[in-house]
Amino acid sequence: MVAELEEVPPSDVAAVERVKGVFDFYKRRASVNSKDAVVTSPKSPEISRKIVVIGDGVVGKTPLIIRFCKGRVPEMNVPTTFEVHTADIEVDGKHVDLALWDTSGEEMNDRLRPLSYPNSHVILICFDISYPNSLDSVQEKWISEVLYFCEGLPYLLIGLKKDLRDDPDVLRSLAVMQQHPVTWEEQAEEVRRKIEALEYLECSAKTGEGVREVFEHAARAALLPRAKKKKRSLRRLIGRTFS
């Protein structure tokens, strides 16, 4: 189920139409729908799946996707409004075509982002390991949005910029604020349990470590049989998050 969008102000109408146009194009191209999208071919059956990547701005969502799709990281950090990339992956003997929806985490795009959720198969909720506040946002903002717009979908928690966990400059900067990089078990895994994410994974787009594994696990989650919608109480999850 996809929740209703609130009314969009006139100034955003053109942007909404652009996003809808991209959405319709990739919906037709990838044959992505709420059921299994299997296209037969002379060689082998192809399965299409849609993955939406969300999280605060500049946590590293775009470098993650570009590293996976093109084997490199972007030379410049250009803020993303809305972008769709395609890639394919082999998991458990199945060839899967992926439509990777890169979304903006900026507050000014909060009205547009929900247009990317319809017909998704899995959501990746991302944060920056070197910026603990972005993990707080997972609990304070992103899980609520996922539960509201993506009821019943599997979602994974993804820690980005793993290479910065032991970076001296990062450690010094965080120490000034009496903070430290996000730890796996004490922080990230604890948040995963609280928000009931399917898995927690870490990676570095800069080094490439763990990037393919993220999308392998995401593809497997997207291939899982659609379970009956599990009633997750938003109030209960929020209460658990802040307890």
Structural domain includes residue 199: yes
How does residue 230 score in pLDDT terms, banded at 50, 70 and 90? low
Domain with 52, as residue range(s), is: 10-241
| 38-60 mean pLDDT | 77
How does residue 36 score in pLDDT terms, banded at 50, 70 and 90? very low
Structural domain includes residue 5: no
Token pair listed for 151: 């009821």
The model's pLDDT over 139-169, given as tens digits with 9 standing for 90+, comes to 999 999 999 999 999 999 999 999 999 999 9
Structural domain includes residue 230: yes
Asked whether the predicted pLDDT for residue 2 surpasses 90, the reply is no
**Helix crossing, 211-223 with 61-70: angle to 10°?**
90
> pLDDT at position 12, please?
54
C-alpha distances out from residue 7 to 4, 79, 150, 182, 193, Å: 9, 25, 19, 37, 34
Token pair listed for 176: 């000034």
The model's pTM is 0.80
Structural domain includes residue 155: yes
How does residue 22 score in pLDDT terms, banded at 50, 70 and 90? low
**Cβ count within 10 A of residue 178:** 6
Structural domain includes residue 1: no
The model's pLDDT over 183-212, given as tens digits with 9 standing for 90+, comes to 999 999 999 999 999 999 999 999 999 999
Q: Which of 243, 164, 240 is nearest to 197 (CA)?
A: 240
The model's pLDDT over 73-124, given as tens digits with 9 standing for 90+, comes to 887 776 677 899 999 999 999 999 999 999 999 888 899 999 999 999 999 9
- Phi, psi for 135 (deg, rounded to 5): -75, -35
Structural domain includes residue 17: yes
Structural domain includes residue 220: yes
CATH number at residue 193: 3.40.50.300
How does residue 23 score in pLDDT terms, banded at 50, 70 and 90? low
Average confidence score pLDDT of the chain? 83
Residues 6+ apart with CB under 8 A from 87: 68, 69, 97, 98, 100, 215
Asked whether the predicted pLDDT for residue 129 surpasses 50, the reply is yes
Range of 25-34, 68-77, 133-142 with top mean pLDDT: 133-142
Task: Provide the domain count of the chain.
Answer: 1
Residues 6+ apart with CB under 8 A from 102: 53, 61, 62, 65, 80, 82, 83, 84, 85
Structural domain includes residue 85: yes
> pLDDT at position 6, please?
45
